[in-house]
Amino acid sequence: MSLIALAADAAANSGEAPVFPPFETWHFPSQLFWLTLLFGGLYIVLSRMILPRLSATMERRGDHIASDLDQAARLDEQAVEAQQALELRMAEARAKARETANEARAKMEDEIARDTAKVDADMDEKLAEAEARISELRAEAMANVESVATDAASAIAGRFGVKPSASDVTSAVKAALN
C-alpha cells in the first residue's frame, strides 16, 4: 500500500479530514535532514565553484570596462587636441584667404585705375581731336555761309524784281553776319 492510501485510510478511521502527507509531523525530521543536506551541498558547490568563477568574470568585466573608459578618455583628449589643431589650421587658412583676396582686390583696383586712366586719356585726346575737327568744320561752314548767304540774298532780291550788284549783296551779308 502506498503512503497516500495509508494516510487516507487513517483519516477515514479517525473521522478527520485527510492531511497533506508532507505536512504530517512524523515526516519533518527526514525533510529537515534532506533540506540541510541539499542546501549544504548547494552552498558548497556555489561557494567553491560557481561564485568564484562568477566573481572572476565580474572582475574581468569590470577591469575591461575600466580599461575601455581609460581608452575612451585618452581618445577624447586626442580628439579635442585634433579639433583645436584643425580650428587653428582653419583660422590660418581663412586669414591667408582673406590676405590673398585683399591682394587680388588691390591688384584689380590698380589695373582698373590704370585702364580707366588710359581710357580717360584716350577719350580726352579724341575729344580734343573732335573739338578741333568741329572748329575746323565750323570755320569752313562759316566761310561757305557767307557765299551761300550772298547767293541766297541775290536770289531772294531777284524774286522781288530787284537786281542788286554783287558787291552790295556781299557787303550787306557781311554786315548781317557780324
Give pLDDT tens digits for 68-87. 999 999 999 999 999 999 99
Per-residue 3-state assignment (H helix, E strand, C coil) for 36-84: HHHHHHHHHHHHHHHHHHHHHHHHHHHHHHHHHHHHHHHHHHHHHHHHH
Determine contact, residues 8/18, Cβ cutoff 8 Å.
yes
pTM above 0.85, yes or no: no
* Structural domain of 172: 3-177
Number of structural domains, the chain? Answer: 1
More confident residue, 9 or 85: 85
Torsion of CA 72, 73, 78, 83, to 10 degrees: 90
What's the pLDDT score for residue 20? 76
Per-residue 3-state assignment (H helix, E strand, C coil) for 100-166: HHHHHHHHHHHHHHHHHHHHHHHHHHHHHHHHHHHHHHHHHHHHHHHHHHHHHHHHHHHHCCCCCCH
Contacts of 163 (CB under 8 A, 6+ apart): 157
Share of the chain above pLDDT 90, in %: 58
